[in-house]
Amino acid sequence: MEHADRGRTVTSRIAIGPLVASTSFHNPAMLAKMATTVDEISGGRLILGLGAGWNETEYRAFGFPFDRRVARFAEAFTIIRTLVREGQIDFEGEFYSARDCELVPRPRPGGLRLMVGSMGDRMLALTAPHVDAWNAWYGWTGNRPEGVVPLREKVDAAATAAGREPSKIERTVTVLVRLPGASGGREYDAPPLEGTAEAIADGLRGYARQGIGHVQLVIDPITEASLEALAPVLENLDGRR
């Protein structure tokens, strides 16, 4: 449900979340607390995307250690997933600690949804037993549905190794869409999806055929006019599934 409220748009169904939050940039227990708070006030609509981070320039600029990122992620992820699912933890690690830590009020029963954004073997092994969803950046797929196949197979293998049915981990990808008004000088990681509303809708259907259950659109330009231009794409998708 959406409605206008004094010039603002209010929604009760759109999912929200970071794509993705680097655990290296946050105290993990505090990140868990902030996430459960947002999940509560949004009525359970938060998808908590997590990753180990990758941009060394950002790390250096803010003074975060860039070494042993996966090992640091493993500890942070243990704290975060335990707190958002169980509400308490007593943990002492090499990089992080959360001693007798408890979230009050407790998270919703079952906790919020967790998503990982990574293709690394170690990261998939760490997260596959616990996450609800996995995300790939459009550059990893070449911004094409057929680019999903080898990535999907890696996630399937990680889920199986963790003793889970692969279908239990939802597959999500970002898709780069270029709309009228985009800057001609921008460099892309892969060719953008563009064209008529029907052409863009057909391109998105290709991801559904590859087992993708959720796409996040990276649009160029990021303007109100672009959002309006996407309306015919959504109407096309609703009309022809």
Segments making up each domain of the chain, as ranges: 2-173
Residue whose tokens read 């009760």: 12
What does the pLDDT look like over 81-129, one tens digit per residue? 999 999 999 999 999 999 999 999 899 888 899 999 999 999 999 999 9
Query: pLDDT-derived band of residue 59, with 50, 70 and 90 as boundaries?
Result: very high
Q: Please provide residue 190's backbone torsions phi and psi, each rounded to the nearest 5 degrees.
A: -160, 160
Mean pLDDT across the chain = 92
Beta bridge partners, 197, equal none
Query: pLDDT-derived band of residue 189, with 50, 70 and 90 as boundaries?
Result: confident
Token duo for residue 68:
């042993």
Q: What is the pLDDT of residue 8?
A: 57
What does the pLDDT look like over 122-149, one tens digit per residue? 999 999 999 999 999 999 999 999 999 9
Yes or no: domain 2-173 corresponds to CATH 3.20.20.30 = yes
Query: pLDDT-derived band of residue 193, with 50, 70 and 90 as boundaries?
Result: very high
For the chain, percent of residues with pLDDT exceeding 70: 94
Q: What is the pLDDT of residue 13?
A: 80
Q: Which residues contact 2 (CB under 8 A, 6 or more apart)?
A: 9, 10, 11, 12, 13
Would you give the end-to-end CA distance of the chain in angstroms?
22
Q: What is the pLDDT of residue 183?
A: 74
Q: Which residues contact 141 (CB under 8 A, 6 or more apart)?
A: 147, 148, 151, 173, 190
Q: What is the pLDDT of residue 238?
A: 78
Query: pLDDT-derived band of residue 187, with 50, 70 and 90 as boundaries?
Result: confident
For the chain, percent of residues with pLDDT exceeding 90: 83
Closest to 148 in 3D by CA, of 156, 233, 178: 156
Q: What is the rounded CA–CA span in Å between residue 104 and residue 101?
A: 10
| pTM, entire model | 0.90
